Amino acid sequence: MIKKTIWITGGSTGIGKALAIKFANEGWNVAISARRENLLEEISNEYENITSFPLDVTKKENCKEVFNQIKNKFENIDICFFSTGTWDPKKEKDIDVEQIENVFKVNFFGTLNSIKAVEEYFKNKKSGTITIVSSIAGYRGLPNSTGYGPSKSALNNLAESLYFDFGRSNVRVCLVSPGFIKTPMTDKNDFNMPFLKTPEYAAEKIYDGLVNKHSFEIHFPKSLTMILKILGFLPNRIYFGLIGKLTKYQKKN
């Protein structure tokens, strides 16, 4: 039986790393990419069926080159999981244009570069799954999120658009919206994170959603995401009031 293959960007830490290990333990070939080559090598040295492919997703040509390397090694790619992201809460409290540009360069355009690199392959293959990792921060506007939230909201819209475009070629587009997961990125947060979960928890939910289910969005934990989805339907005045109270935001007179 031919092993299936998944390509994971953002695979050196957090959700990406946990998911790589989960798929490897399930018998898949796993290609992992990130900028920190040393961390990728540590993971690939520990797991026989995980292979390191260092990558800077902000470089379009690099994305194409790396995907060609993965294709040449494994021939058949079944799932692409694009989860590269950046976040600096200290720089999100004011409008820091340079910071916001960098966040979009990594979170949005880095993901877009990765998708572009695999577009022709999947449309010709007429099967497979492209997975875009967003966040609950992309549902609606939140305080102190001038770059991260908007970048994730853009990914949500992109995933919905690509759902139709790739669907014509029988390729599944899947959106992943995690709640608070304990990773090096969320460790920067200086506020209480409700329903905080481990990367391993996230990996289990994502694996189940990608392999066993066929819904467009994989979101977790439901105890948090369902509340936020309901809040998303509220009129602006009520939404702003509730979020303001929950986050201790007060309007200046």
166: which residues sit within 8 A by CB, 6+ positions away?
122, 123, 130, 172, 173
> pTM for the whole thing?
0.91
Per-residue pLDDT of the chain (253 residues; tens, 9 = 90+): 678 999 999 999 999 999 999 999 999 999 999 999 999 999 999 999 999 999 999 999 999 999 999 999 998 999 999 999 887 777 777 898 999 999 999 999 999 999 999 999 999 999 999 999 999 999 988 877 889 999 999 999 999 999 999 999 999 999 999 998 887 777 676 667 778 899 999 999 999 999 999 999 999 999 999 999 998 888 999 988 887 776 664 454 4
Q: What is residue 90's three-state secondary structure?
A: helix
pLDDT at 253: 42
pLDDT at 190: 65
CB-based burial label for 201 (10 Å; 0-12, 13-18, 19+) = middle
pLDDT at 252: 47
pLDDT at 145: 81
Catalytic, out of 121, 148, 201, 249: 148
What structural domains and CATH numbers belong to the chain? Answer: 5-246 (3.40.50.720)
Residue 148 annotated to the active site: yes
